[in-house]
Structure 1
């Protein structure tokens, strides 16, 4: 079997590195070795994914390597903070990296859009957005898997695109609701993205200066929107 596509789900060393990264008592060289090894194994694939998600017209400003570095840095930080406690294999790790890369690409494009409005430095396509959201396994904020079960093998670009497209579709559903609300104050897109990155209800509430109960209601609304769409898709 080609070395680049060998099964990673049974790779005990990868599982060990993941567990070390999540271990709150692990320090120093153990954590550094684990992070470096995971970085080495995934950086090229994450760069490739970022390249696919950034429009060509934007790449002169938004470097896919910057997006990939930001996605991996976010993963390492969240893992050390205990936000991915249930993540325990290559399959789930890759889906989390796909989602984080998508979010960082969105952030990059948003910054460019702001620059365009302020200084006219960037021309280009409308910003694509999308979401999903719990803090550990690759379930959406609605509690469902982002895509159906797949084999535990090295991720392919086709799979990455499939996950990315569904993520994009879900974000568009939330955007539509935000746009109908006065000045987008429901903040569904922002809340869902932050929830996916592992932020707690209280952290999100503090960021937006809302009550925790308000954020809980928004999260429940997001679940209902996605569940309703999933039901229609099945009919």
Structure 2
């Protein structure tokens, strides 16, 4: 969504597309934090928290925006609006802390929007660095903390969040506090209290040479890294090159996870899995992986336009289950199956990608790695950390995926079938079994699920 202007993003959010909220947050959060900090001053720095102010401003913005209370007329209006809300929140806090000492009018400008517009903006490099660091810490949050933080930033109040995740309000407050603390530890200047202690540098085998490729176009950017379209030098062959964000290249855990994904995918050869050729290193030392270039689009981008027909969704799921069945046979649990991680090329072929959270099972034991996923698609036993991933973990996500492809929305919990023709009982029955809280009540193998799918097809 980086190509959309602020008016387009606001319209998408008001139309109910939650992804626009994330895009709005990512686009302006660094500048808003910098703005708030520039107005706090050293004396109030320990009592007034810039990140708290910005989070409160976003909550207010999303609540009012969802009610169609805002309309943008020209470029820059969204920044001025968010800056005005942030400064309003900020001066309210300053007033509380300084009421007994001096008038708030001594510090507050009379035109908050104009003052915000005139505030010096951080450099592009500073903005990129802060946003990448923010992506990093949010991606590393435990699933529940990440879920409540996202919901809070989208304007949901604690009671609403508590109901949606079936946890007490006290737990929601604790999760939000934990998330804020971790973000502060990573973003506040001069903080040396976090756990990023010096770690021995691990060198991984990376035989591919950067000099053999020519980067041509940035295809996308996520929480972990970026993907570029590239060309093999001296040929017309196109490949995709995936790399970690610069801010993550010095994080041993992120590098180990990235290398693990490359090594894992290099060993997987299936028609419905994006092939990885291998691992290489940039001249500056960071790692990259070279993958097949897929001329197509991810399923989430198609869902943003309209849901799939039942026949199309079942056909897609058949291909996805073929890939996941193969991965399970190789001892690999994907752990992050969602529309954004499934590609469809220009010929209609379906390919599963992004094994960044994959879990490995070897000889009945688990290999230590990062457990994660995406809110709404994560199996409850993983979300509550009651067990390690199993094939039933992916089967849960496949049920969510099928329902989402057909209806354009996540299934409600507890799952109930809406009374619509396009949601037949046969599909609802399959989804219902995939979504049982108890993994033992779900389909136990992908083959068992495929038999039900084939009966409908």
- Smaller-chain TM-score bracket: 0.3 to 0.5
In terms of fraction of residues, the more strand-rich structure is 2
Task: Answer 1 or 2: higher relative contact order, Cα 8 Å, separation at least 6.
Answer: 1
TM-score (norm 1): 0.43
In terms of fraction of residues, the more helix-rich structure is 1
TM-score (norm 2): 0.23
Larger radius of gyration: 2
